[in-house]
């Protein structure tokens, strides 16, 4: 296994951050500094990163979590806000696969394998995401097909997807939005492009995994078979 993948899989950091450790000379194998990214770690190698022993023996774990409102998806925060990784009682270093805004609820995947997280966030996998959104303002039916053809967002980004009105109730309109990309605040910006704004947003499903049977704030560990199906 390549040295950066070994470090990432062991939970040291993301693959990119591990590359930085290697480049800066913080990685030593059998007492020697290794800066060659192609180095293949052998079973008998003793690997240190920043003077700490690295052992790649832990089981790969992936969790599906029903994210509550008010939690952020970053690993560190200078404002001491609540983090989704704190909802899992494990000592593993954890990585979120994709992100949800602080006020958005629903399905998010969390793993102890930084390399896996990076792979699944790559655009080529095009993981389907299904959202339930509420707005106060309606959208003309003639406008809705535009998202299927593709629309340009406020910063010039191009996005395609599907949108349909599910219900009107008590002054609110409920929408289903299906996307295969992961741009920043994508759903909210789509509605803004239609001249309305989202008052609540819930990701019902991610990569075919839904949280209909998970209470808010609860999680379940995925089986190896389901993890493999993500690819």
Percentage of the chain modeled with pLDDT above 90: 59
- The yes-or-no verdict on residue 48 having pLDDT over 90 is yes
Beta bridge partners, 70, equal none
**Phi-psi map region of 97: left, alpha, beta (phi>0 left; psi -120 to 50 alpha):** beta
In angstroms, the CA 76 to CA 87 distance is 14
- CATH architecture observed for domain 62-124+210-229: 2-Layer Sandwich (3.30)
Judge if 3-54 and 62-124+210-229 fold alike in CATH terms.
no
170-195 pLDDT, tens per residue? 899 999 999 988 778 899 999 999 99
pLDDT at position 202 is: 97
DSSP 105-156: EEEEEEES-HHHHHHHTSGGG---EEEEEEESS---TTTTTHHHH-EE-TTS
In angstroms, the CA 99 to CA 102 distance is 9
Query: What is the reported pTM?
Result: 0.76
- CATH architecture observed for domain 3-54: Roll (3.10)
Residues assigned a catalytic role: 101
Cβ atoms within 10 A of the Cβ of 127, count?
21
Instruction: Decide which of 112 and 167 is more confident.
Output: 167
Q: Where are the domains of the chain?
A: 3-54, 62-124+210-229, 128-206
Mean pLDDT, residues 116-139 taken together: 86
- The yes-or-no verdict on residue 58 having pLDDT over 70 is no
Which CATH number is 128-206 given? 3.30.2350.10
Q: Is the dihedral of CA 74, 78, 84, 85 positive or negative?
A: positive
- The yes-or-no verdict on residue 231 having pLDDT over 70 is no
Burial of 196 by CB count in 10 Å (0-12 exposed, 13-18 middle, 19+ buried)?
middle
Work out the mean pLDDT of the chain and round it to a whole number.
90
CA angle 76, 107, 122 (to 5 degrees): 70
In angstroms, the CA 205 to CA 106 distance is 8
């Amino acid at each position: 296994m390549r040295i950066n993948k070994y470090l990432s899989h062991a939970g040291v950091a993301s693959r990119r951050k591990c590359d930085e450790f290697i480049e800066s000379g913080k990685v030593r194998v059998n007492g020697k500094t290794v800066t060659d990214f192609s180095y293949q770690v052998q079973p008998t190698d003793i690997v240190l990163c920043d003077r700490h022993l690295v052992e790649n023996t832990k089981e790969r774990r992936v969790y599906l979590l029903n994210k509550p409102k008010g939690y952020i998806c970053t690993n560190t925060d200078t404002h001491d806000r609540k983090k989704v990784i704190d909802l899992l009682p494990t000592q593993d270093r954890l990585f979120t696969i994709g992100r949800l805004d602080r006020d958005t609820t629903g399905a998010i995947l969390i793993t102890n394998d930084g390399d896996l997280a990076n792979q699944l966030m790559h655009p080529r996998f095009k993981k389907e995401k299904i959202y339930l959104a509420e707005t106060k303002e309606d959208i003309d039916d003639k406008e809705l097909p535009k998202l299927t053809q593709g629309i340009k967002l406020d910063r010039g980004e191009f996005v395609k997807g599907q949108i349909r009105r599910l219900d009107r109730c008590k002054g609110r309109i409920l929408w289903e939005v299906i996307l295969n990309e992961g741009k920043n605040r994508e759903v909210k910006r789509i509605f803004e492009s239609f001249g309305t704004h989202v008052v609540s947003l819930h990701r019902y499903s991610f990569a075919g995994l839904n949280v209909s049977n998970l209470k808010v704030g609860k999680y379940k560990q995925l089986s190896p078979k389901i993890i493999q199906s993500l690819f």
